[in-house]
Amino acid sequence: MKRNAKFKTMPATLESFGAALDFLSRFEPFSTTNLDTIARAVRRQILNGEHVVTYDGDRIIGYAGWLPTTQQSGDAWADDRGELEPADTDADAAALTTVAVEDPMITLGLMRACRDLNPGIRVFFKRAYGNRGRGARKASVLNTTGIAPAERVEKRKTTSTAPRPAIADDPCLFLYALAEQHPGETMRIPVGETSVVIVQDPALAARVLVGNLGNYTKNFASFTPFFGRSRLTLDGEAWRHSQRISQSFIAPHDTARALALVARIYDDFADALLATGGAPTVIDGLIDRAAVAALTEVAFSTPLDVLGASFAEDLRPIIRYAAARAWDLPGVPSGADSAMLAHAQSATDRIRAAMAALVEHRRTSGPENDALSALIAAADETQSGPEETRIDLAGELLTLVVAGSDTTSAALGWALSVLASAPDFQEQLRDEIRATLGDRVPSMADFDRIPSLRPFIDEILRVFPPVAILSRFAQAPDMIGNEAIVPGDRVLVSVIGLHQNPSAWDAPREFRIDRHDPNGEGRADRKSNFMAFSAGPRICGGARFAQIEMATALIKVLRKSRLELAEPLPFAFEWGASMRRRGGQKMKIIAL
Ligand code: HEM
């Protein structure tokens, strides 16, 4: 293959895949077309080198992907006489199927580069593409045939009345029901025109996440367009590189500092709860703010206010949109519509601008001993290196904010609502906190001295795991129990299924803190039965941080207030980056 100086092929890595999807998703029709189908087509284009990109600095400004085909099929397709047929072994032509450019002037260059990369064969470029709008045709085209072998692109039907499959409509409720009806079973569940494999058995979950880790890559295609590439979404060497940079800062490296910052933030949070004056209140927004503030203070040494008044709230529409599109499978009506997209896009613009200002400010004020400075330094160092080794600074920072706040916020919401619904236990925990601490500021060691504190947090994470599904893509054939896995299969480890498995947990539906040891002993025995933080190399990087934060928050709130239910709360879920209660965690907060 001949390489062009300005137009080049990206390496066959998942980073390139993420970068291509990130770029394409900014354009119509990609932003409103079934994401799974586009992801499959782009995946093939990246893996097989069937694409070309062009950059402005390190920013992609043009992308063209093609499908190897035959002249006969290409001719018929170009004349609208037939479908474009892929030809993997006897290709004597290529058809440009996926094109997006920031500037229409780039299109010609991309086509030339495509011809250079396919010497001696005909390259078809069809003017009438799936998106027939004049303006959009200039900037981006997506052809509706041959986008992926044997597949038709499904344009999202935002007004479709077809019911969504139960698993896509309410994944958490579906998984609780599955765990009850088929405990521990591995099952292939049809979804639209395809299927997903659900794993509920601890040994098989360990195979996917640890034993045969290399065969199961992360499946975050719907999140990368907004959150970019990061240690959460990358695999292989790129992940290891990224993981090494941030891990010591979010572990966290200076526990005393983290504890002091978190204590102050949750003091303010406890006051904000009290300010509701005992009126029935949905407290999710207040918890979100506190959890985002804890992350920005510890990882970026920056108060949340500096990032703007709407920063924490702006994360919600992005998470909601990305989560809805995660179930964009062929034949499944999308759960997202154009209003959701518009909302998510404007929130993303504000978030990205705030992040850019944060980085700019840090560059001027000089480095600090935190994750922000470590990531800026790593991004600068890798800037001139090959694409696959570059750190996506914005992606890493945003991922830390979301991974480091949404999950903890969800867990705290469940914890406070369970306390509100169990007044006797709430009183017991408050008494234990007072007896152990008096008015003293808690230290790390204190968390283990309050007998019910850690078991309560563990039981919350067992019964209401914020990350209820660990989603992976199979790369090669494998056997999961009796289920034959083929490349491209979506394999979902149901954390709900593991935590509700009666062979591991007695009466799994009952909320019982006596299952867990106060000081964490016996944790090793739980092995894969408890996977709230996942397992193996890709285990949560912030598990310790989360436990410090939850323990501190519970201590601060219970010392100052009594929680009461305003009304019975439904066993109903909202699926985002983590599992929340549908309708929010509503309660009354009474001053003590
Ligand atoms: C109760 C709170 C939390 C829960 C339940 C939780 C759960 C998880 C789970 C299950 C994963 C693995 C996802 C997968 O493999 O698909 C994960 C990954 C991750 N989490 Fe957490 N998390 C929590 C809090 C945090 C906090 C506070 C931080 C940061 C300070 C954080 C940072 C991360 C990062 C960076 C990863 C990616 C790890 C890697 O692949 O290198 N998490 N988390």
CATH 2.30.30 for domain 7-142, yes or no, is: no
Token output for 577: 């980056």
pTM for this model (two decimals): 0.79
* Residue 387 per-residue DSSP state: G
- State which fold the 172-591 domain adopts: Cytochrome p450 (1.10.630)
Q: What is the pLDDT of residue 272?
A: 97
Determine the Cα–Cα distance for residues 237 and 229; give it in Å rounded to an integer.
13
Ligand 1 center to residue 530 CA distance, Å? Answer: 14
pLDDT at 524: 55
CB atoms within 10 A of CB 160: 11
> CATH 1.10.630.10: which residues of the chain?
172-591
Distance from residue 541's CA to the centre of ligand 1 (Å): 5
Ligand 1 in reach of 395 Cβ (< 6 A): no
C-beta 538 within 6 A of ligand 1: yes
DSSP designation for 164: P
Residue 576 CB: number of other CB atoms within 10 A?
21
Residue nearest atom 18 of ligand 1, based on CA coordinates: 540
* Cα(115) to centroid(ligand 1), Å: 44
Q: Is the CB of 221 under 6 A from ligand 1?
A: no
Number of helices (H) and strands (E), helices first, in the chain? 22, 18
Nearest CA to ligand 1 atom 6: 533
What separation in Å is there between the alpha carbon of 248 and the centre of ligand 1?
14
Candidate of 407, 461, 491, 579 to mutate for ligand 1, largest count of ligand atoms within 8 Å of Cβ: 407
Looking at residue 146, what is its pLDDT? 35
Q: Is 546 in the pocket of ligand 1 (CB under 6 A)?
A: yes
Atom number in ligand 1 closest to CA 239:
41
Taking the CA of residue 550 as reference, the ligand 1 atom at the shortest distance is 1
Q: Report how far apart, in Å, the C-alpha atoms of 217 and of each of 162, 221, 278, 472 are.
A: 31, 11, 47, 5
| Binding site membership of 541 for ligand 1 (Cβ less than 6 Å) | yes
* Ligand 1 pocket member 139 (CB < 6 A): no
Q: Is 413 in the pocket of ligand 1 (CB under 6 A)?
A: no
Distance of CA 200 to the CA centre of its chain: 21
Q: Whose CA is nearest to atom 35 of ligand 1?
A: 541
Residue whose CA is at the smallest distance from ligand 1 atom 23: 407
Q: What does the DSSP assignment read for 520-570?
A: -TTHHHHGGG--TT--GGGS-TTHHHHHHHHHHHHHHHHHHEEEEESSPPP
Torsion of CA 561, 565, 571, 576, to 10 degrees: -40
Range(s) of the chain covered by CATH 3.40.630: 7-142
Report whether residue 407 contacts ligand 1, using a CB cutoff of 6 Å. yes
In short, whether 457's Cβ falls inside 6 Å of ligand 1 is no
The atom of ligand 1 lying closest to the CA of 220 is 16
Distance 370 CA to ligand 1 centre (A): 18
Tokens read off for 268 = 């303010």
Please state, in angstroms and as integers, the Cα–Cα distance from residue 421 to each residue in 465, 554, 591, following that order. Answer: 18, 15, 17
Ligand 1: distance of its center to the CA of 466 in Å?
A: 10
How confident is the model at residue 523, as a pLDDT? 61
* Long-range contacts, 113-117 (Cβ 8 Å, 24+): 113/4, 113/6, 113/7, 113/52, 113/54, 113/64, 114/52, 114/64, 114/66, 116/2, 116/4, 116/7, 117/1, 117/2, 117/4, 117/9, 117/49, 117/52
Q: Is 232 in the pocket of ligand 1 (CB under 6 A)?
A: yes
Collapsing DSSP states into helix, strand and coil, what is residue 442? coil
The CB of 250 under 6 Å from ligand 1? The reply is yes
242 lines ligand 1 (CB under 6 A): no
Residue-by-residue pLDDT tens, the chain, 592 positions: 334 447 888 877 777 787 888 888 777 777 777 777 777 788 888 888 889 999 887 788 888 888 888 888 888 877 777 777 888 777 888 888 888 888 777 877 888 888 888 877 888 876 544 444 433 333 455 554 333 333 333 444 434 456 788 898 899 999 999 999 999 999 999 998 889 999 999 999 999 999 999 999 888 777 777 777 787 877 888 888 888 887 877 777 788 899 999 999 999 999 999 999 999 999 999 999 999 999 999 999 999 999 999 999 999 998 988 888 888 887 888 788 778 888 888 898 899 899 999 999 999 999 999 999 999 998 888 887 776 677 888 888 988 998 899 999 999 999 999 999 999 999 999 999 999 998 888 888 899 899 999 999 999 999 999 999 999 999 899 999 999 999 889 999 999 999 999 999 999 999 999 988 776 665 655 678 999 999 988 999 999 999 999 999 999 999 999 999 989 999 999 988 899 999 999 999 999 9
Write the CA distances from 222 to 215, 379, 475, 565, 578, integer angstroms.
20, 24, 18, 36, 14
- The ligand 1 atom at the shortest distance from the C-alpha of residue 578 is 5
Q: Are 450 and 265 in contact (CB under 8 A)?
A: no
Q: Which two tokens stand for residue 128?
A: 């009438």
> What pLDDT sits at residue 298?
94
Closest atom, ligand 1, to C-alpha of 405? 27
